[in-house]
Amino acid sequence: MRSHFADRLCAAVRAKGNAVCVGIDPRWDMLPLEVRRRHAGSDLENVAEAFAEFGLRILEVVAPLVPVVKPQSAFFEACGPAGMLALRRILRRAHELGLMTILDNKRNDIASTAEAYADAALAGVLHEGKRLPVWGADALTINPYLGRDAIEPFLQSARRCQGGVFVLVRTSNKGAGQFQDLLGDGKPFFQHVGEAVAKWAGENLGKCGYGDVGAVVGATHPAELAMLRALLPQVVFLVPGFGAQGGSAKDVSPAFRSDGLGAIINSSRGIIASFPPEDPNWEVAVEKATRETIAALMRP
Amino acid sequence: MRSHFADRLCAAVRAKGNAVCVGIDPRWDMLPLEVRRRHAGSDLENVAEAFAEFGLRILEVVAPLVPVVKPQSAFFEACGPAGMLALRRILRRAHELGLMTILDNKRNDIASTAEAYADAALAGVLHEGKRLPVWGADALTINPYLGRDAIEPFLQSARRCQGGVFVLVRTSNKGAGQFQDLLGDGKPFFQHVGEAVAKWAGENLGKCGYGDVGAVVGATHPAELAMLRALLPQVVFLVPGFGAQGGSAKDVSPAFRSDGLGAIINSSRGIIASFPPEDPNWEVAVEKATRETIAALMRP
């Protein structure tokens, strides 16, 4: 049995010397032209093939440099069943390359339905007494609106396979506050969620002192990030919104604990769309953008 | 161009004389033995084939009786890419049979990621200037936690194709209240969400007086259901939790407006698991259970 999710994550961050997560969010219009040309055609199966090729080539570039990748399920789902095949190939290859994987699919439901989502992403689906892997990610993202009993199947699946769960706490969009900032008992709603996440994380701590339940907290809200960091010392933060969405290295620095651990900073477009589509040497640009992202985050 | 989502829904309810939605939530252990035997095998491709056969045969039984079906995406996703093929076959066949479809996948994300989920479910994905259908549902379910700007892409996709969106307001699980009942400004959180849904629904009303944004409100909370019905007169309610989850016909009656419209009552296990697996005439049992569900809901 592999070790605790947070211990594996901390070890990967230490081994690579940085906490950068590369978001695999392919969009047709930003793919290299040479990839688009090879998969030209008017149906979504071609798009899915292009996403697979692009994602797999991104993995080869970033695997020596970063500890984690985060495929965005939505773009693969938008290609239909063929897209899900592409997603599976990318997740499998990432593991072969020693990368940790966070499946960003923001799932949520109740009871056996939540269990189906959770087991598909993490522990594998139980069929005739055997667990069959589906996406086999190290962690997934989930939405907290339905409450702990609906989150329980995700925790159980994670704990069965030493996986992890990242709960949306404060999202990176401009309008995140419409509901997340509503005050209840003098505290914003996202803080109620954050405090619940801290409790769930505390149920199963790794040797590194972090739990297997993390929090998604956008880089675009540095004040909230600092407040949550202080309140949730045992929670690993997954921080989207760096780069293309406007968050700077300074903005994300409060996400880290004083030991330099405790956060994973995601960059998607800043890395995987860091070249003009006509650039034949786009993988060189991706490597350069990855190194620059790492450097920027190491001296905020 | 087809007509407004709510007008199509009201017309379907009037045509069938009831507001029952059949949830297509297949689980291997509840499938008829004859279906399981035909798709025996140790991998998830077989399970997906069994789910497809079962779901398609359910559609043939219920299509003459009810206006709407609601496939639960989680169970199909749990079979991997083959499961998504099964889901697509079921959605397509449902439309051929004149059934309206709600894809229950509780999606949520921001910006272009939300757009990818929305267009996949509803209007079709834009590729090289053409919209390509993916799931082609009439509506999907979404989670409101991220706020209006994150919901906007779902509304836009729905409005492009006269589709609909059902926003989780009060879910049917026991622990729904952990966050949904938190009081902000003297009102529970779910009421804030409900009032926002009412506003969004009011932006695009059909001739029937209902909007294209509905609310998911569990049958297991009749008091909240009655309160929301009074507050949200232009919002169609999708009501899960009837039957197997404990909600009775009396519990769901407050979901309807005095004109008998305004709600869709979902039953999943009460219909699609209404027989012992060894019953060779399971389709007869499904038809009987569907008729009984309709009868129960017509005289609460």
The answer to whether the CB of B290 falls within 8 A of the CB of B66 is yes
In which band, very low, low, confident or very high, does the pLDDT at A299 lie, cut at 50, 70 and 90?
low
Inter-chain Cβ pairs, chain A and chain B, closer than 8 A: 205
Yes or no, beta carbons of B147 and A72 under 8 Å apart: no
pLDDT at B221 over 90: no
Mean pLDDT of B180-199: 96
Provide CB contacts within 8 A for B238, sequence distance 6+: B21, B70, B102, B141, B166, B214, B215, B216, B217, B263, B264, B266
From the candidates A16, A106, A187, A207, give the one annotated as an active-site residue.
A106
Yes or no, beta carbons of A145 and B180 under 8 Å apart: yes
Distance (Å) from the alpha carbon of B82 to chain A's nearest alpha carbon: 7
In which band, very low, low, confident or very high, does the pLDDT at A300 lie, cut at 50, 70 and 90?
very low
Give the angle subtended at the CA of B76 by the CAs of B73 and B82, to the nearest 5°: 135
Using one digit for the tens of pLDDT, what is the confidence trace for A231-271?
999 999 999 988 877 889 999 999 999 888 999 999 999 99
Q: Is the ipTM of this complex over 0.90?
A: yes
Nearest to B80 among A78, A110, A134 (CB): A134
Q: How far apart are CA A221 and CA A172, in angstroms?
A: 7
Using one digit for the tens of pLDDT, what is the confidence trace for A144-186?
999 999 999 999 999 999 999 999 999 999 999 999 999 998 9
B130 flagged as catalytic = no
Yes or no, beta carbons of B171 and A117 under 8 Å apart: no
**Contacts with B186 from chain A: Cβ below 8 Å:** none
Nearest Cα to Cα of residue B219 among B181, B261, B177, B265: B265
From the candidates B70, B106, B207, B250, give the one annotated as an active-site residue.
B106
Nearest to A88 among B81, B108, B173 (CB): B81
Percentage, residues of chain B above pLDDT 70: 99
**Contacts with B107 from chain A: Cβ below 8 Å:** 74, 106
Yes or no, beta carbons of A28 and B85 under 8 Å apart: no
Percentage, residues of chain B above pLDDT 90: 92
Region of residue B32 (left: phi > 0; alpha: psi -120 to 50; beta: else): beta
Yes or no, beta carbons of A80 and B177 under 8 Å apart: no
CATH of the domain at B211: 3.20.20.70
The answer to whether the CB of A64 falls within 8 A of the CB of A71 is no
Nearest CA in chain B to A82: B81
Instruction: Output the six-digit token pair for B181.
Output: 């009942």
Yes or no, beta carbons of A147 and B44 under 8 Å apart: no
Residue type for A16, please? Answer: K
pLDDT at B36 over 70: yes
Q: How far apart are CA A267 and CA A192, in angstroms?
A: 27
Percentage, residues of chain A above pLDDT 70: 99
Q: How far apart are CA B1 and CA B162, in angstroms?
A: 8
**Contacts with B85 from chain A: Cβ below 8 Å:** 81
Mean pLDDT of A58-65: 98
In which band, very low, low, confident or very high, does the pLDDT at B243 lie, cut at 50, 70 and 90?
confident
Mean pLDDT of A283-300: 91
Nearest CA in chain A to B134: A80
User: How many CB atoms sit inside 10 A of residue B66's CB?
Assistant: 27
**Contacts with B77 from chain A: Cβ below 8 Å:** 84, 116-117, 120, 134
Nearest to B109 among A74, A88, A135 (CB): A74
Quote the domain boundaries for residue B150.
Answer: 5-298
Mean pLDDT of B117-133: 97
Computed over every residue of chain B, the mean pLDDT equals 96
Instruction: Output the six-digit token pair for B165.
Output: 């969106």
Q: How far apart are CA A195 and CA A189, in angstroms?
A: 10
pLDDT at A94 over 60: yes
Using one digit for the tens of pLDDT, what is the confidence trace for A182-235?
999 899 999 999 999 999 999 999 999 999 999 999 998 889 999 999 999 999
Computed over every residue of chain A, the mean pLDDT equals 96
Distance (Å) from the alpha carbon of A101 to chain B's nearest alpha carbon: 17
Yes or no, beta carbons of B132 and A44 under 8 Å apart: yes
Using one digit for the tens of pLDDT, what is the confidence trace for A108-129?
999 999 999 999 999 999 999 9
Using one digit for the tens of pLDDT, what is the confidence trace for B270-282?
999 999 999 999 9
Distance (Å) from the alpha carbon of A115 to chain B's nearest alpha carbon: 9
**Helix ranges (DSSP H) in A22-71:** 33-38, 44-62
Instruction: Output the six-digit token pair for B243.
Output: 């039957």
pLDDT at B244 over 80: no
Nearest CA in chain A to B194: A179
Nearest to A125 among B44, B182, B192 (CB): B44
Q: Is A215 helix (H, G, I), strand (E, B) or coil?
A: strand
- What's the whole-model pTM score? 0.98
Quote the number of domains for chain B: 1
Lowest mean pLDDT among A15-29, A236-250, B133-147: A236-250
Q: How far apart are CA A279 and CA A285, in angstroms?
A: 9
The answer to whether the CB of B135 falls within 8 A of the CB of B129 is no
Residue A78's beta-bridge partner residues? Answer: none
Nearest to A147 among B107, B120, B179 (CB): B179
pLDDT at B300 over 80: no
Yes or no, beta carbons of A144 and B145 under 8 Å apart: yes
Best B173, B190, B217, B266 member to test A by mutation, with max A CBs in 10 Å, is B173
Residue B299: predicted pLDDT: 59
Nearest CA in chain B to A128: B42
